[in-house]
Amino acid sequence: MSSASRPRRQRVDLDRPSTYQHLDPAGMLQCAVDFPSQVQHAAQIGAAFKLSRTFRNPQHIVLAGMGGSAVAGDLLARLIEDRAPAPFLVCRGYDLPKFVGPTTLFLASSHSGNTEETLSAVRAARRRKARVVCISTGGELRSFAQRQRPDPIPVLSIPQTDPPIMPRSALGYSLIPLVYLLGHLGLYPGAKAHVRETIAVLSSLRETVHPDVPTPRNPAKQLATSLFGKIPWVQGTAGLMGAAAYRWRCQFNENSKTLAYSSEYPELNHNEVVGWEDAPGLADQVEVVILRRPGDHPRIQKRVEITRQILKPKTRPHLVEASGRSHLAQLLWTVYLGDFTSLYLAFLNHVDPHTIDNINLLKSRLARA
């Protein structure tokens, strides 16, 4: 088809939903609007779930998952790293580290319950007599847990909505019940209060990034507009914001259908910063977003300011500072802003944020392999 005969696309105006509603038949934007309510519901699920004392005092914590379920593990690991006595590892793959055994709290997380890597990992964990808990809407993971004898594996059941939502839109369900679980086991003190604050912070942010809020007063729309036509590169400060930066990257990949990258301070000051010298001029195609939070180490704060000055000849980084008192509130506030930004960027890119064609293509070919 010649360029002259191609149908002209309607110009997307983020302040006129009629120009992009047809791009979102599955209602991904509404899922984002509803996220604070999802977190509240997930808190009720988490508060009602109890484990026996045999799960207490693990020597290690391992979460097996892929995609959005694994991202929940990344966030959880960073949340508890300065308070839990046990190290936390996220396992993305079929195999397990050698140390996984009877003293390991093993969290098998799969939204669908049919993620083949996670099913392989949980079977291995069960053989090694790890203390296993499954998190899922159902599928083979729940069936596997219920078939175990003489002691079925506890299942933290999260709801399968109708119509189903994508795992990346169900972060509240994959994360918040686990926050309560670790709080119940004494590994995350103050969980209930932190979740309560987080719901309030998310609800407040929604009032500024909601689709009804015009671009001049909507930071997510402003950021998406700046990123349009560019490669987003998200830099996060050490710990919480590093995990948030990875979530932003994944949301740009899946929702916006664009290449995106993430990195973390201070490590990026030992390698990436040199790449910005960039003789071929590739940096002209990149737009940088820096995520930071109150409480960052003073030297990290100084590194961010110096790095911004170094990057300014190439790009003027956008600075995002997390809101909230608790680490959980700061983390999910930042994640929530990124989710809306990725959706608005999807509409500017004229793509459906729900579809994952290449993932489906890969799965179909693997099924035949």
Structure token digits, residue 115:
């993620």
For residues 292 and 304, the answer to whether their CB atoms sit within 8 Å is yes
Q: Residue 189: is the preceding peptide bond cis (ω within 30°)?
A: no
Residues marked active site are found at: 254, 270, 363
Using CA atoms, how far apart are residues 276 and 279, in angstroms rounded to an integer?
A: 9
Using CA atoms, how far apart are residues 358 and 286, in angstroms rounded to an integer?
A: 23
Using CA atoms, how far apart are residues 334 and 346, in angstroms rounded to an integer?
A: 19
- One-letter amino acid at 252 equals F
Residue 326 CB neighbour total at 10 angstroms: 18
Angle CA 344–350–356, to nearest 5: 85
Residue 26, CA distances (Å) to 22, 171, 258 in order: 10, 17, 19
What sign has the CA pseudo-torsion 92, 95, 98, 100? positive
Using CA atoms, how far apart are residues 324 and 331, in angstroms rounded to an integer?
A: 9
Cβ neighbours of residue 218 under 8 Å, at least 6 residues apart? 14, 208, 209, 210
Q: From 273, 274, 255, select the one nearest 317 (Cα to Cα).
A: 273
Q: From 159, 156, 179, select the one nearest 72 (Cα to Cα).
A: 179
